[in-house]
Chain A
Amino acid sequence: MSVLVLIEVEGGSASLVSREALTFARDLGAGDLHAVVVGTPAPGVVADCAEAGVVAIHTAQDPALERGYAAAAWAAVVEAAGRAARADLVVAPGTGRGNEVLAHVAARRNLRMAANVVSVESLSPLVVQRQVVGGAALERATVDSRVRLMTMAGHAVEPVAAPSPGAATVTPLAITVDPKDLRAQVVRTEARETGDATGLTAARVVVGGGRGAGGPEGFGGVEALANRLGGAVGVSRVVTSLGWRPHHEQVGQTGSRIAPDLYIACGISGAIQHWAGCASSKTIIAVNTDPDAPMVTKANYAVIGDMHEVLPAVLDELA
């Protein structure tokens, strides 16, 4: 028996959430750790897998797969890897791709899948705790199928190297992609429009503004401080749904997940769905009129006050 982990690649390495999933899967102690990578794994990916204790990396290199992402074709690869690894547990990162691909495997094989798992209570039967209601509640659920499928909520564990590295032998899968699995395939990827979310997710400092900004014209201080600190502007969902700022600036469950060194949240209450997107910030400073706002109580530092008075004073101080 073994555990298979779907790896997503980012800049020649296994993505952070994939490395978290590897650590999580390994620490379950449910057998050998296997990985599956769509396309030739770069040396960095092989090294990351070996460090995490992976014994074998299953890959598929059908040219059809290289033309663009297709969830059904990825699912076919995961299935083939699952057979090769004799896996009875498959883990994927709880990203858009991870959730989509495992949902395909679940549908094709009539299996159960648990999304956004944070911990496993027992292996047989498999009982998990997973995030529901946008992370505001946890659900204890049984996943009772032949092969158990789950995706991992981001940042539920820290990636940790295995006590001894695995062999991470790259083993190609003999698979020809069925044209039917390419009915929905990415035909092209367009560069994001200017002011896209990449600036926000990559920024070391994010200055956020929420309903407390009071209107589209209330973001002057937020923008100026973000500029002064060489950072990006992030906003709450209220702000985007009222049309005050564009959606690509939204931080949260249905916006971007950020992990800057510093997040300064101004006039943001810190609802769980917003928190889901900023909880990984190293340091959080809240500026809020309400000392009991969740953003304030969860922050590392807080200034209690009106952002329209605090921000200009801070900018003056920095001038």
Chain B
Amino acid sequence: MTNVLVCVKRAPDPTGEVVLTDDGLRVDGRYAGYTTSAHEESAVALAVQLTEGSDGTVTVLSVGSEDSIEQIRAGIAVGATDGILVEADADLLGPADVADAIAQAVRARAEAGTTYDLVLLGNDAADTGDFQVGVRLAYLLDRPVAAGIQQVEVSDGRATLRGEGPDGTEVFEVDLPAVVTVLEGGVAPKYPSVMGRMRAKKAPVETVAWTGSAAGSGRQVLTVPEAPPSQVTVIGEGAAAAPALVSVLRELGVVSR
């Protein structure tokens, strides 16, 4: 049996135009909406894949405001078992604080009798991009950690992890319990079924408060850099532009004359 904890963050949807709040301190999600980071969606999918057909469980945890329950339930809708919300003002937290909040929840669950063989996180969050929470968490829990993983298999208390390295697919074998940060690409994200959505509405989500004191992120202000003025040469329109395009290709030396 494998119990997996997946940590997800409620982040402003970064695919559209980025609008900042007036104080420049955060991305204004009121326009773009909120989502779970792509890497974390993959982490949820991996966790569900790992436990399918077994009596293992998948718990989705989020550190943040009450609104983060939406991201927790989105995870449950695609197959997770239950959720934990660690309530905290995410804007005040830095990566060390988030790691501490997750570690606290993992220890509390252990005391209550549930240990997690694997804790999965996203490699980096879509908004803050700190690249540290998973690694810091592993040190707090004294567990091995691998980052940028795309595939996970578990057998006999060990996990085989695969991720892309500079020279090919790198394979790690780690003893459980372990911490893994996931990069999208190794597994297709799951889409919720109607049944899944129904289940997610009713599934238990435990709310706990983080009792640590925030070290913060060091953030002073955000800016959206202005796009440089366009320098584009429009070659033409539609099929009629083909000869002109080909002469550009010739000039660039990518086709022989």
Interface residues of A (CB under 8 A from B): 8, 10, 68-69, 71-72, 96-97, 99-100, 103-104, 106-108, 110, 112-116, 127, 130-134, 136-144, 151, 183-192, 197, 204-205, 228-229, 231, 237, 240-241, 243, 247-248, 250, 254-255, 261-262, 271-273, 283, 285-286, 291, 294, 296-306, 309-310, 312-314, 316-318
Contacts and interface: CB of A to CB of B under 8 A. Distances in A.
Interface stretch (B2-10, B13-21, B78-86, B194-202): B13-21
Contact of B132 (A115, A136, A291, A306): A115
Nearest to A231: B254
Contact of A302 (B99, B163, B227, B232): B232
Nearest to B145: A184
A272 B164 CA distance: 23
A116 B232 contact: no
B237 A294 contact: no
A107 B135 contact: yes
Contacts of B185: 240, 247-248, 250, 254-255
Interface in B127-177: 127-132, 134-136, 138-139, 144-148, 161-175
Given A112-B94, A305-B241, 4 more contacts: A138-B223, A144-B218, A271-B15, A294-B227
Contacts, number: 245
A142 B243 contact: no
Nearest to A309: B239
Given A188-B171, A302-B235, A303-B235, A100 B135 contact: yes
Contacts of B238: 303-306, 309-310
B222 interface: yes
Nearest to B228: A298
Nearest to B236: A303
A68 B173 CA distance: 12
Interface of chain A: mostly helix, strand, loop or mixed: mixed
A240 B217 CA distance: 33
Contacts of B189: 241
30 contacts: A68-B170, A96-B147, A110-B96, A112-B94, A112-B218, A114-B218, A115-B130, A115-B131, A115-B132, A132-B128, A132-B129, A132-B222, A133-B127, A136-B14, A137-B18, A137-B20, A137-B223, A183-B175, A190-B169, A190-B171, A229-B249, A273-B14, A301-B234, A301-B248, A303-B245, A304-B238, A305-B237, A310-B242, A310-B245, A313-B242
B218 A204 contact: no
A191 B174 contact: no
Contact of A314 (B27, B170, B242): B242
What's the interface size class on B, roughly? 35 or more
Contacts of B224: 136-138
B171 A140 contact: no
Contact of B241 (A183, A231, A247, A303): A303
A152 to B, nearest CB: 13
A103 B234 contact: no
A98 to B, nearest CB: 9
A204 B254 contact: yes
B255 interface: yes
A133 B246 contact: no
B184 interface: yes
Nearest to B183: A254
